[in-house]
A and B are shown apart, each in its own frame.
Chain A
Amino acid sequence: MKYPVTAGNKGTKVRGDCLITFDPEADKDLAIRVESRVDILFGKAIAATARKVFDFFSIEKGDVHIEDAGALDFVLAARIEACIKKAFPVEHNFLPDILPANQYGSARKQLRQSRLYLPGNTPKMMINAGIHHPHAVILDLEDAVAVDKKDEARLLVRNALRQVDFYGAERMVRINQIPRGLTDLDQVVPHNVHVILIPKCESGAEIEQVNDRIEAIKSGEKSEQEVFLMPIIESAKGVLNAEKIAAAGKNIVALAIGLEDYTADLGVRRSTEAIESLYARSHLVNVCKAYDLQAIDSVFSDVGDTEGLKQTVQRSKTLGFEGMGCIHPRQIRIIHDGYSPDEEEILKSKTIAKAFEKALGEGKGVVSVGTKMIDAPVVEKAQRTIMAAIQLGKLSEDWRGSHE
Chain B
Amino acid sequence: MSNMNCVQNTAGRMVPVIANGKALEPFRGVGKYRPSGRKYGPPIATCADYPADGNKLQPDLKSALIKAGLKDGMTISTHHHFRNGDLIANQVFEIAAQLGLKDLVWAPSASFPCHNPIIDHLKSGVIHHIEGSMNGDLGRFCSQGHMRGTGVLRSHGGRYQAIQDGDLHIDIAVIAAPAADSFGNANGLYGPTACGLLGFALADAQYADKTIVVTDNLVPFPCIPWQIQGNYVDYTVKVDKVGIPEKIISGTTQVTKSPDRLLLAEMTAQFCEAAGLFHDHFSFQAGAGGTALSIGIYFGEILKRKGLACAFARGGSNKYLVEMLESNLTKYILDGQTFDLDGVRSMRENTNHVDTSPFTSYNYHGKGNFASMLDVVILGATEVDLNFNGNVVTHSDGYLLHGIGGWQNCLAAKCVIFPLPLFRGRIPVILDEVTTLCGPGEMIDVIVTERGIAINPKRQDLMDAVKGSSLPIKPIEELKAMAEQICGKPEKPKLDEEIVAIVKWVDGTVIDAVRKVVP
Contacts and interface: CB of A to CB of B under 8 A. Distances in A.
Interface stretch (B189-197, B301-309, B482-490): B482-490
Interface in A129-156: 131-132
Interface stretch (B259-267, B330-338, B361-369): B259-267
A104 interface: no
Given A40-B397, A69-B425, A131-B450, A330 B488 contact: no
Given A128-B450, A328-B259, A40 B493 contact: yes
Contact of A41 (B259, B450, B486, B490): B490
A16 B426 contact: yes
Nearest to A330: B259
Interface string A1-30: 000000000000001100000000000000
A32 interface: no
Contact of A70 (B259, B260, B396, B427): B427
A131 B488 contact: no
Contact of B425 (A38, A40, A131): A38
Nearest to B492: A41
Nearest to A167: B451
Contacts of B490: 38, 41-42
B interface bracket (residues with beta carbon within 8 Å of A): 20 to 34
A325 to B, nearest CB: 16
A42 B486 contact: no
A38 B427 contact: yes
B37 to A, nearest CB: 44
A165 B425 CA distance: 17
Contact of A44 (B397, B491, B493): B491
Contact of B488 (A15, A73, A128, A165): A73
Contacts of B85: none
Nearest to B398: A40
A132 B426 contact: no
Nearest to B493: A40
A337 B493 CA distance: 47
Contacts of A382: none
Contacts of B427: 38, 41, 70
A37 interface: yes
Interface residues of A, number: 23
Interface string B189-224: 000000000000000000000000000000000000
B450 A42 contact: no
Contacts of A45: 488, 491
B259 A132 contact: yes
Interface string B455-497: 0000000000000000000000000000000111011011000
Nearest to A133: B263
B260 A128 contact: yes
Nearest to A45: B488
B246 to A, nearest CB: 23
A398 B435 CA distance: 51
Given A44-B491, A132-B263, A127 B486 contact: yes
B451 A42 contact: no
B260 A41 contact: no
B431 to A, nearest CB: 11
Interface in A65-92: 69-73
A383 to B, nearest CB: 26
A71 B427 CA distance: 11
* Interface of B, helix, strand, loop or mixed by DSSP: loop
Contacts of B396: 41
A138 B260 CA distance: 18
Interface string B477-519: 0000000001110110110000000000000000000000100
Interface in A225-244: none
A222 B396 CA distance: 46
A71 B423 CA distance: 12
Contacts of A37: 425
A226 B426 CA distance: 35
A328 B262 CA distance: 12
Nearest to A116: B259
Contacts of A199: none
A165 B450 CA distance: 13
A8 to B, nearest CB: 15
A131 B491 contact: no
B487 A72 contact: yes
A329 interface: yes
A38 B426 contact: yes
B425 A15 contact: yes
Contact of B263 (A15, A16, A131): A131
Interface string B394-423: 001110000000000000000000000000
Interface in B266-298: none
A329 B425 contact: no
Given A72-B486, A127-B486, A42 B263 contact: no
A277 B491 CA distance: 56
A45 B488 CA distance: 8
Nearest to B519: A40
Most buried by B among A40, A72, A73, A131: A40
A47 to B, nearest CB: 12
Contact of B491 (A41, A165, A328): A41
A330 B262 contact: yes
Contact of B260 (A38, A43, A69, A131): A131
A22 to B, nearest CB: 22
A163 to B, nearest CB: 9
B259 A329 contact: yes
B419 to A, nearest CB: 13
B425 A16 contact: yes
A132 B493 CA distance: 33
A181 to B, nearest CB: 29
B174 to A, nearest CB: 36
Contacts of B488: 42, 45, 72-73
24 contacts: A15-B425, A38-B425, A38-B427, A40-B398, A41-B396, A41-B397, A41-B490, A41-B493, A42-B488, A42-B491, A43-B491, A45-B491, A69-B425, A70-B425, A70-B426, A70-B427, A71-B426, A73-B488, A127-B486, A128-B450, A132-B259, A132-B263, A329-B260, A330-B262
Given A41-B397, A328-B259, 7 more contacts: A15-B425, A16-B425, A41-B426, A43-B491, A45-B491, A69-B425, A131-B260
Give the top 9 A-B pairs by smallest Cβ distance, nearest first. Answer: A70-B425, A329-B259, A41-B490, A40-B397, A70-B426, A131-B450, A40-B493, A38-B426, A128-B260
